[in-house]
Amino acid sequence: MGNAKIRLFVDQPVGQGQVIALNEGQANYLFNVMRLGVGASVLVFDGENGEWRAEVAEAGKRKGLLVCMDQTAPLRMPPDLWLLFAPIKKARTDFIVEKATELGAARVMPVQTRFTNADRIRVDKLRAHAIEAAEQCGGTFVPVVDDVQPLAKVLAAWPADRQILWCNEHLAGVAQALPKGGAAGPWAVLIGPEGGFSEEEQAQLAAMPQVVQASLGPRILRADTAAVAALTLWQAQLGDWA
């Protein structure tokens, strides 16, 4: 049986006796890079049915089969927390998605703002980064990563029951702004672009009753740092760290 140390996300249902057909990239990683063979154990998850120990039934250079043997962890859902952020440079945008996954965001929503300054966003690449982060951090859930949408359009259709933590450096700190105790309910964290929000965007946000404005401290943070800080503070105050 052996101790499984490698975790792999699969886009097929996992469960007792389920056979998982590996794609070429997965087969190359398991059998050529990690040197696994028939009978080796791998931890697999599909984002819906928890984590399972699977054994290698067939190992080829470009394909292979795993068989699910027993469940090792149930599905662990994160809090109902979304992250909205304006994309920045590629490596830093990748970092935001990775850390949002590790910190327990349920949904990641890149938004185009007036001052967003970024190259074309490859959402498929961002989704791959979210999967890799879930594999590495022991998660059994992979957050949804949306296509890029205009911020104004997203806010115009915003759910009435979902609050937004708007990180505004000119106001009180997060600890003072967030409610104390009780069920958190649906929330989102909004991180702006490096150039800040336009006057029109600020007015739209300020007019929304769901918006809670708060500072992330006395220093102005880079967008990727701000995303990590805001998610961490929310989790400590209202999330599954509290």
DSSP category for residue 143? -
Q: State whether CATH 2.40.240.20 applies to domain 7-73.
A: yes
Q: Render pLDDT for 20-74 as a digit per residue (tens, 0 to 9).
A: 999 999 999 999 999 999 999 999 999 999 999 999 999 998 999 999 999 999 9
CATH entry, 81-237, from 3.40.190.290, 3.40.50.300, 3.40.1280.10, 2.40.50.140:
3.40.1280.10
Q: How many CA atoms lie within 13 A of 141 on its CB side?
A: 17
Q: What are the pLDDT digits (tens) for 200-210?
A: 999 999 999 99
pLDDT at 83: 98
Model confidence pLDDT, tens digit, residues 221-242: 899 999 999 999 999 888 988 6
Cα 21 from chain centroid (whole Å): 25
What pLDDT, on the 0 to 100 scale, is given for residue 181? 59
Q: Where in the chain is the domain with CATH 3.40.1280.10?
A: 81-237
Residues of the chain with CATH 2.40.240.20: 7-73
What confidence score (pLDDT) does residue 173 get? Answer: 60
pLDDT at 242: 65
Average the pLDDT over each of 1-10, 82-91, 116-125, 177-186 and give the range with the smallest value. Answer: 177-186
